Amino acid sequence: MLIDRKTFEYRNKVIIEKAIFSTPFRHEGVFQNEGCFLYIKGEGSKMLSNDNNITVRKKEAVLLKCGTYFLDMVKNSDDDKMEVIAFHLFPDLLKDLFVNELPALIERNTRKPETQHVIPDDTIARFVDSMEFYFQNPRLVNEELLGLKIKELILLLVQTKNVDSVLELVADLYSTRTVSLKKVIDLHQYSNLGMEELAKICNLSLSSFKREFKKVFNDSPANYILNAKLKKAQELLTMSDMPINEIAYDTGFNDPLYFTRQFTKKVGASPSAYRKDHV
C-alpha cells in the first residue's frame, strides 16, 4: 500500500514525485501523454508493460514510454518498504527546455522505442539522491528549478551509456503509438495479470479487449491463458525438478492449491501424479 507521497508540480502537472510503499504491492501507472524516468530504491521489482517484462534491482531505473504499466514490488527480507522516485517527461515541457536541441535528438533516433533499463551510473544516482534535499525543503522549490532539474536529468542520461534509450523515449513522445495485443499476451501470459490489467496495457476497455482477443486467438482470454499456463506447467513438471509450489508461481498462479485444482481438472491428473507418470 502507499505509505507516503510527495510531489512537485510544474504548470499544474506533477513533474517530480517520491512515493514510499509497503511491500508486497502492485502499483498501476498510466502515462498516456508523457514519458517517465522511474528510479527504484528497493530489491526485486518487476516492471510489466506492453513491450517488456523486466526485473529492476536496487538503485536501478527504467525509462518508460507512453502507456500503462504495473510495478510489482516484492517484500524484501531486510525491509518491507520501497521508495520510488519518478520524473515525468511531458512533450510540451521538453520542447520549452530544449528548443533547438530536441528536433536533433528525434532525427538521430531510428529505433523502435521500448521500455528500457537504465544502466546504473554513479552520476545519476547522486543526482537522484540530491532531490532528497528538496523533498525535505519544498519551500525552496519553484518552476524554474524544476525545469532545470528535468533538463539536467536528460543531459546526464544522454552523456552516459543510456543515450539510445533517451533518444527512443524522446522520439516516442512525438510518434503515433500502436499496441500489439498478440505481443502483450505472448509477453505476459505468465505474469499473473488479470483481464482488466491486460486490457489497460493494451489501451483497450475490457469489452474491447475481449472482442479483439477473440479475433486474434479464436478463444476467450480466460481459457486461452489458463491453457497456456497449464501447458508450461506440464513442461516444467517433466523437464525440471522444481517444487510444485514454485511451478505454480512461475506460471502465474497466486495460489498453489488453485493451480493444483485447475491442473487436475484440465489434465486429468494432479501435478505430482503427472510428474510421476512422465519422468
- pLDDT tens for 56-102 read 777 777 777 656 667 777 666 566 788 888 888 887 787 777 766 65
pLDDT digits (tens, 9 = 90+) for 224-277: 999 999 999 999 999 998 999 999 988 989 889 999 999 999 999 999 999 988
Tell me the angle at which helices 163-172 and 143-159 cross, rounded to the nearest 10 degrees. Answer: 130
Question: Does the pLDDT of residue 207 top 80, yes or no?
Answer: yes
Q: What is the mean pLDDT of the chain?
A: 80
Q: Which residues contact 134 (CB under 8 A, 6 or more apart)?
A: 8, 140, 141, 145
The whole-number pLDDT of residue 169 equals: 63
Q: Is-same-fold flag (2-172; 181-278)?
A: no
Helix (H) or strand (E) holding 88: strand 81-89
* CATH class of the 2-172 domain in this structure: mainly beta
**Domain spans of the chain?**
2-172, 181-278
pLDDT at res. 237: 93
Decide the pairing of beta strands 81-89 and 35-41: antiparallel
Q: What is the pLDDT of residue 51?
A: 62
Q: Phi, psi at residue 39, to the nearest 5°?
A: -110, 125
What would be the CATH architecture of the domain defined by 181-278? Orthogonal Bundle (1.10)
Tell me the CA distances in angstroms from 255 to 20, 113, 228, one per residue in order.
Answer: 27, 35, 17
Choose among 66, 26, 20: nearest CA to 40. 20
Q: What percent of the chain has pLDDT over 70?
A: 74
